[in-house]
Amino acid sequence: MKLCWLDVRTTGPSRAAILEEALHQRVDGVVADDPAVLADLPPTVTKVLLPRGKPLPETLEGVDVLVVDPDRDANAAELAARYPSVEIGRFVEIIDADTLELACQAARTERWSVLLFRDPTKIPLEIVIAAAARATGSIVTIAADVEEAEIIYGVLELGSDGVLMAPAKVGDATALKAAAIATTPELDLVELRVTKTTHIGMGERACVDTCTYFREDEGILVGSHSKGMILCVSETHPLPYMPTRPFRVNAGAIHSYTLSQDERTNYLSELKAGSKVLAVDVKGQTRLVTVGRVKIETRPLISIDAVAPNGTEVNLILQDDWHVRVLGPGAAVLNSTELRPDDVVLGYLPSADRHVGYPINEFCLEK
């Protein structure tokens, strides 16, 4: 989980409300330039003093981390001796090659590195993250808003260890915390026994082209019903007459559900460039991937019926073609047109019914 630090130095009259929201959302740290602001905060939050341009106080009672600029303040050794109960961090503002090298040095050696990048490009942050790959300290990068924070969390795949952001209004702390914990769950996949396949004629199917290469044991979950889905493999495996397209899943008929962010389902027909879908491997490990394009075309369709060990019936309608595939146990790649009764495929059984894609506890019968 990424760190979420909230800067309340410039929040003004709304500070009390923002702090209340921050504590409710369990942000990891609160940053101030006055120890008095931090004094009444509970021990569940890291209390960070960043006194840029202000003299250092005599004592730091109640402060957990002191972040200083070595060019203006005493060096780390002197500060550690002066404040033995406080962790010392280093602030670096990156404006050129020399300050970028200072940031890399801090990231390699300091317990905390708070970095402010003045240029909009994220390449300097990539360099710092790479330079600190073996370091044990934490990099906290300053973001202007939640949108930038989301980018910072993902830079160079690893991302910054944390983000420091000054909220503009109540609600920003909640949004920042959501960006910090944007992880995807592991799913308990089940083995489904095929009971019947039926050629059902023409209809529209969707190919989901993502901005990511899928692995050979990975695809997306697709199903006609919200409570049962089958794992459709991406086109990472060789096919006759055509090159592999490891970014694509030939996913199913347009009415089908797939899983996306926050346990939500989407119809394949409503996905578009920029949508998020959940990539799933045969172990149930997941990650969010971004849709680059959805291709909807008229094709012959095949209906696959299967049953779970608990009796749940699952249906998936696919393009009726040999090269459209699903995954079985052990990452076996199964051609949809060759499936027969008693063959076993991998699937997932969401526990909740759906209303406009969101899980909901209500009666819902799907046939």
Q: Which residues contact 270 (CB under 8 A, 6 or more apart)?
A: none
pTM of the complete model beyond 0.75: no
The DSSP letter of residue 265 is E
Q: Output the tens digit of pLDDT for each of the chain's 367 residues.
A: 789 999 999 888 889 999 999 999 999 999 999 999 998 899 999 999 998 878 888 788 889 999 988 666 566 777 878 888 899 999 999 999 999 999 999 999 999 999 999 998 899 999 999 999 889 999 999 999 999 998 888 775 677 899 999 998 999 999 998 888 766 788 999 999 999 999 999 999 999 999 999 999 999 999 999 889 999 999 999 888 778 899 999 999 999 999 987 778 899 999 999 999 999 999 999 988 999 999 999 999 999 999 999 999 999 999 999 999 999 999 999 999 999 999 999 999 987 554 444 555 554 556 7
What span, in angstroms and rounded, lies between the C-alpha atoms of 318 and 222? 10
Rounded to 5°, the CA angle 154-158-161 comes to 85
| Lookup: tokens for 146 | 């939640």
Task: Using DSSP, state whether 354 is helix, strand or coil.
Answer: strand
In this structure, what DSSP letter does residue 218 have? E
Percent of the chain residues topping a pLDDT of 90: 68
Model confidence pLDDT, tens digit, residues 146-161 = 999 988 887 756 778 9
Closest CA to 165 of 183, 182, 181, 141: 141
Compute CA distances 364 → 5, 211, 254, 261, 263, whole Å. 42, 34, 21, 22, 17
**Nearest Cα to Cα of residue 326 among 245, 235, 209, 239:** 235
